[in-house]
Amino acid sequence: MADQPIRLYGVPFSQPVRAVMWLMLYQKTPFEMVLINPGSSGETGSRHPSYLAKNPAGTIPTIEDVESGFVLAEAHAIMTYLCDRFGWRDVYPTNLEDRARIDWYLHFHHRNIRDASTGLVAPRIRKDLNIPEAVQASAKATLTRALEALETSWLAERAFMAGDELSIADFAAYVEIGQLREGFTNVYDFSPFPNVRRWLDRMATVDGHDDVHVVLRELGDISVEPPPMERIRDANKLALRTLKGILETLG
């Protein structure tokens, strides 16, 4: 364990931030959460010059390894770094083929499963993004094609995304796919995908799942109409308060 906790910039509403949070909580490793609001140019925003100096893309998550001063962005790069940094071989093994299969999923995820957010969630909770209807429709079609690939291949043959054991590929995938479920936003019908549903149910029993998803449980169903701003703010606040309590018990 590092003497000084890793600093994580972001908000629990962000899918890639949740993936990093889940990995750290699963490993029972304390971290420091620094609130950064995506898209805002205010002082705590991802477009503020002080944040852009760390991550010029202006996206969350970013981490700072306080001991060395090393700064890193991109959730999947962060997760693989943390696994190597702390020796978390259980979720990112060193065996060449096991690791390559996890990396395969992590690369596939972008522009495929990640489109879940672009097509179904961001249009309802990030009105500021003004995502055009045509982009939403295309993202939904991409997501469905990607889920078909998981259904007929990745999850047809294995319990988890990249093998018989849980890995960081599962955290990365679930934060996108799981958010769409009944009990959370409820914006996607998974009935054509029994293997995906089996995997989703299994992931919901993984240590840290409930703690990381407080924000979505609190937000609730957004399938009928977009949630009001206060509900979004309250969900974020409760998630941050809950996280603070959990981190106190770890640290």
Ligand X SMILES: N[C@@H](CCC(=O)N[C@@H](CS)C(=O)NCC(=O)O)C(=O)O
Where on the chain is the footprint of ligand X (CB under 6 A)?
Answer: 14-16, 38-39, 46, 58-61, 74-75
Which of 75/196 has CB closer to ligand X?
A: 75
Q: How many CA atoms lie within 13 A of 221 on its CB side?
A: 5
Residues with Cβ within 8 Å of 191's Cβ and at least 6 positions away in sequence, in order, are none
Which of 27/46 has CB closer to ligand X?
A: 46
Q: Tell me the closest approach of the beta carbon of residue 249 to ligand X, in angstroms.
A: 27
Which of 58/208 has CB closer to ligand X?
A: 58
Which of 74/218 has CB closer to ligand X?
A: 74
Q: Tell me the closest approach of the beta carbon of residue 250 to ligand X, in angstroms.
A: 23
Place of tokens 């960081």: 168
Measured on CA atoms in the order 173, 194, 143, 136, is the torsion positive or negative?
negative
Strands 70-73 and 31-35, by their bridges, are unpaired
Q: Tell me the closest approach of the beta carbon of residue 67 to ligand X, in angstroms.
A: 22
Q: Tell me the closest approach of the beta carbon of residue 50 to ligand X, in angstroms.
A: 15
Taking each helix axis as running N to C, give the angle between helix 75-86 and helix 15-26, from 0 to 180 degrees, rounded to the nearest 10.
Answer: 10
51 token code pair: 């944040």
